Amino acid sequence: MAMDSDYGVKGSSIIREWSGQVQPALVASFLFLFCLEACLWVRNLRLKRRLPGPFAWPVVGNAMQLGQMPHITFAKLAKKYGNVYQIRLGCSDIVVLNGDKAIRQALIQHSTEFAGRPNFVSFQMISGGRSMTFTNYSKQWKAHRKIAQSSLRAFSSANSETKKAFEQHITAEAMELVKVFLHHSTDGRYFDPAHEFTVAAANVMCALCFGRRYGHEDLEFRNLLKKVDKFGETVGAGSLVDVMPWLQSFPNPVRSVYENFKNLNEEFFAFVKDKVEKHRETFDPEVTRDMSDAFIGVIDKAESDGLTKGHTEGIVSDLIGAGLDTVSTALHWILLLLAKNPDLQTKLHELIDKVVGRERLPSVEDRGSLTFLDAFIYETMRFTSFVPVTIPHSTTSDVTIEGLHIPKDTVVFINQWSINHDPLKWKDPHIFDPSRFLDENGSLDMDLTNNVMIFSAGKRRCIGDQIAKVEIFLFFAILLHQCSFEKYANEDLSLNCTYGLTLKPLDYKITAKLRGALLTGQ
């Protein structure tokens, strides 16, 4: 749940939009040239000394050099220019950070200096401008985040009833997913699990936030989730507009994508507002039913530090959007890698049968005895690095990283993929090997797990990362306990992916087979 955690790759989507749409935008070449002259003047005034980096072409900057998988290109450029270098998109100079040392120095040692967000127009339209994830660093933001952290902590504390209820929601949703998978696999059929994972993850978040779930065939809910998926595909829809805001002023392909992005944001936020408002109508300060009640009780009633009722809807929107995308994407990759590696699947089946048995479902309490299952999850996060580049940061003051000066208000891209695939840190990083996370005693190597960066770090680190890990573990354990998964006999599942809010595997089809009797509860 990479909420406020840079759950997306907004920055990388900027590049993707540039690569695909810069040619049509050239119809306004005279405006580009005018903007170019102004930008060069401003840039030279701001930067006393340009950082290392590739030559930037007029108008397009470095966009055409970065391709469809910018995180890979960023890592290659780091070999030539170092782990701290500069690129340009349109009128914007952007610093790119690569490698464990530079990134952790920035996000942890200089967490305040890198806690900002750029003043992008697309950021301002998300959650009515009250998103904790996309708003800039301020006293108001700190108050918003503190409330979110304390509320989540109360919901997930070891002995809380809400924690037990949350885990029960996950178990129930996982079993519903098992039934859906088995139905799709009737008579040995093969199916694409992608959308079912999205529905399952969204239902867990709706249960957490609203105390209710939706059926997998609920048409309104499925249509809503398609819009959320579209958000993931086009979260950088405002990208060209972000770096060249005047593109809003005349008809062009970029403006069209920007308008679609705006509309789907409004529709999703309207859904959340409706549910939160109904909670307000039945709110009882003595009974906290779910996260909406928790936020209403603190934010609505206090309205301090500049927070208003709108910030309640903002944090709920963040929680749902981030949680469903991160968890569904992780499970999507896990199932692909499970079907692609039948020997590892067999090992996991043997382990879960030994630890759990066939008379009950796995629970969170089994986690300490299912270390190889956890290792499989961590290796999936490292290997796929499915949040490769964080939402852009912005520097809140002048700062120096690895001896290089970065001015205040500089846009910064954080290449998490470069940490997860660093050959100095990981032996054979291109090979999928869960056992790398186990020590000689078969225990989980916590130092290595902490080296995986998928939820960012520092002040913008995901506040829901522990909840997300519990959710992924429980879904995965129950799916393994109840089913085996197979790909087509002669098909080698592709590891290629699509680029968007997260890296998602290309469409693939599997079949599910029930292992023993279908259980209905603990």
Q: How many CA atoms lie within 13 A of 17 on its CB side?
A: 31
Tokens of 498: 């699509």
DSSP-derived letter for residue 53 is -
> Do 243 and 22 form a contact (C-beta atoms < 8 A)?
no
Instruction: Return the ∠ at Cα 339 (arms to 333 and 344), rounded to 5°.
Output: 100
Give the count of beta carbons closer than 10 Å to the beta carbon of residue 68. Answer: 12
Three-state DSSP state, 117 = coil
Query: In terms of C-beta density within 10 A (0-12 exposed, 13-18 middle, 19 or more buried), how is residue 3 classed?
Result: buried
DSSP-derived letter for residue 506 is P
| CA distances (Å), origin 431, targets 71, 181, 232, 513 | 18, 29, 27, 28
Pairing of strands 511-514, 84-89: unpaired
Distance, in Å, from the CA atom of 439 to the CA atom of 445, rounded to the nearest integer, reads 6
Measured in whole angstroms, the distance separating CA 221 from the mean position of its chain's CA atoms is 21
Task: Point out which residues pair with 411 in neighbouring strands.
Answer: 94, 394
> Do 214 and 206 form a contact (C-beta atoms < 8 A)?
yes
Distance, in Å, from the CA atom of 422 to the CA atom of 440, rounded to the nearest integer, reads 23
Distance, in Å, from the CA atom of 316 to the CA atom of 291, rounded to the nearest integer, reads 8
Distance, in Å, from the CA atom of 202 to the CA atom of 295, rounded to the nearest integer, reads 19
Q: How many CA atoms lie within 13 A of 327 on its CB side?
A: 34
| CA distances (Å), origin 87, targets 74, 84, 113, 412 | 10, 10, 20, 10
- Tell me: is residue 91 an annotated ligand-binding position: no
> Do 498 and 465 form a contact (C-beta atoms < 8 A)?
no
Binding residue numbers for heme: 462
**Annotated binding-site members:** 462
